[in-house]
Structure 1
């Protein structure tokens, strides 16, 4: 997934700083390439196309390609059967991953996943940095993922927003209206209430929706659920036509608010404040990266009703996601959201009040 690939890119920065002459390659799914494009710490990107490479006769050419590189070190962050096969076939002297009984034989070093975060970086960061301890003991404890936009991409995004009538001297919020699946998507009727609250708290706010053309139906449904007043603040036709364009537009926003997922991770990597809503089946401690209750804030059903989730498996939570989402009513999170809005919009709000 996009968030996984972006987060794992911190390993390249750490390795590059310690081993400046190393040749560093990254094997990723094709669709995730935009989040590591222009990353200065990666020498070469190998693309994995599941449509081709997972066919019976498709994996062997990839395995041969990997083996031909004669890698000294392989770090498998994905830790699945397919990547275990790739790791083992690579012939690398040192092969590192997380411990799983059915794949452990593919590696020379394995680690048990940490279950409790020790820092504000969160488990997604800490577990990745843990893998590097098999290489050396003096790597930094944590690093922040970063995205690298070009000047042209930034200029193009600014022009697009200006042409759409968006005023950058007023608060601009990117809204993550959908999760990566229906089970990870906050109910649209609730999201509409959230957007109405944003406009009532920050009357000058301008809202952008994060969606792709195939999701226009859901985006339009949310738009129609919003109050007429809120609709006047939504720039429905202004959205990223590509992942890189989405990143460039988001970089100009005051915050990203909405469903937890890849978009939130990208916003964090751009140093854009985030307010994210976790789906019930996701462990918040795994992906609440660098949260500080100020510019990066999140909410989860367990924050308000932990008794609902006690002793339930992720499979059960996923199956009943809609039922549990119904319990995370907007009124539970509005106070926290309002504080976030005031914290991350106060400068522009104060400026507007002075103008008025």
Structure 2
């Protein structure tokens, strides 16, 4: 049996959707399972034993209809028996169609229903603390009555060589296990997912004051100026604890460094999902327009906790959902005062006992 799982979104979605591959491996232990993802997200799923091959969706397929068509023909030649489309956009619709697989499963959309042999209706509310993101993906594999007994956590797999290399890198920068090491997700993927810089600086000051930990910033080279702006807003004492130039030069390097951290704190996004997949404690600051129940995976108020503006000021939303308030994100952030965030962070760190 040959199975193709498709997920072409960003890092967090690609990592989370590996649970589909793991569930399928349990159901079909002798099957060949391929996982189709965008090339840029490959590092987060390397070494994963629950699928056999990574099928790369390259940028050139988006830029050239001719190359995309050639890719579709290769998919058809692979003769898949089952396609699980967790992406559900035009590209994956076409990939699913061209596969000619006798079984094709995806989430329900009225305008693509005819392309699939089975469609799954997303549930709006979670039934466990795994979050809707986990449960709805598992519905692509399991019937409803088996969801709660088959909850799976996303996992990242690293080699010993990778972990040892990261440890050496940290030691060379005078970072050892003698003090706690905390990764700060200082920036979101966009401004509407990023806590205002001055607020984040105060949060980092609190973290250092409470733990005296070494601090690493999670940022990519194109975000360096913004990360530096946040650094400049912290106190002199905090800056002594921040190792600003110690960061992963690639996604895989970031993951290996994160594997040596004691916790990750900061803006919701892929970094939080990666920390959880490495079994690292997390404290997440949700953007005011992100629906918390969709992505607060495995929160228990202890090892994993979070804050959302809606928790403190639901009256700001009226009858609208946080997602419907997306265009007002920057305005809403002004109300997300550190007087709400810092006590929660302090309590979390004290309970974590770093």
Distance 1:283 1:139, change over 3 A: closer
> Who is 2:223 aligned against?
215
Could you tell me which residue of structure 2 aligns to residue 67 of structure 1? 76
Q: Does 1:5 align with 2:14?
A: yes
Gap runs ≥5 in structure 2:
1-9
Instruction: Report the Cα distance in structure 2 between the residues aligned to 1:302 and 1:314, rounded to whole angstroms.
Output: 8
Deviations along 1:66-85, one digit per CA (max 9) or x if unpaired, are 11111110000011122112
Distance 2:262 2:146 in 1: 38
How many angstroms apart in 1 are the aligned matches of 2:63 and 2:105?
22
The answer to whether the aligner puts 1:83 opposite 2:92 as a matched pair is yes
- Measured after TM superposition, the shift of residue 112 of structure 1 is 1.3
| 1:268 shift after superposition | 0.1
Deviation at 1:167, TM superposition (A): 2.7
TM-score norm. by structure 1 comes to 0.93
Q: 2:148 and 2:53 mapped to 1: Cα distance?
A: 22
Deviates more, 1:80-89 or 1:321-330: 80-89
Q: 1:31 to 1:4 in 2, by over 3 A?
A: same
1:310 maps to which residue? Answer: 318
Q: Is the 8 A contact 2:127 2:148 kept in 1?
A: no
Deviations 1:190-228 (A, max 9, x none): 0001011111212x2110000111111011100101011
Cα deviation, 1:306-352, whole Å, max 9, x if unaligned, reads: 111233366752222111111111110222111211122x2x5xxxx
The corresponding residue for 2:6 is none
Report the alpha carbon displacement of residue 98 of structure 1 after superposing the two structures with TM: 0.6
Deviation track 1:31-53 (CA, whole Å, cap 9, x = no partner) reads 00001101111101111123433
Q: From the superposition, tell whether residues 285 and 138 of structure 1 become closer, same or farther in structure 2 (CA, over 3 Å).
A: closer
Aligned runs of 1:202-241 on 2, under 5 Å?
202=211, 204-241=212-249
Within a 5 Å distance, the mapping from 1:277-296 to structure 2 comes to: 277-296=285-304
**Mapping 1:255-270, distance limit 5 Å:** 255-270=263-278
TM-score normalised by the chain length of structure 2: 0.94
Q: After superposition, where does 1:30-109 map in structure 2 within 5 Å?
A: 30-109=39-118
Q: Using the alignment, how far apart are the partners of 1:7 and 1:322 within structure 2?
A: 28
Matched, 1:176 2:185: yes
CA shift, 1:94, in A, is: 0.8
Q: Return 152-161 or 265-274, whichever deviates more.
A: 152-161
Distance in 2 (CA, whole Å) between partners of 1:262 and 1:213 is 16
- The secondary structure found in structure 2 opposite 1:58 is helix
SS of the aligned residue for 1:222 comes to: helix
User: Matched residues in 2 for 1:303 and 1:149: separation?
Assistant: 36
Are the aligned partners of 2:289 and 2:326 in contact in 1 as well (CA < 8 Å)? yes
The count of aligned residue pairs is 345
> In 1, distance between residues paired with 2:63 and 2:146?
36
Root-mean-square deviation (CA, aligned residues, Å) is 1.8
CA 1:135–1:70 in 2, change beyond 3 Å: closer, same or farther?
Answer: farther
The 3 A distance-change label for structure 1 pair 317 and 54 is farther
How far 1:57 sits from its partner (Å)? 2.1
SS in 2 for 1:183: helix
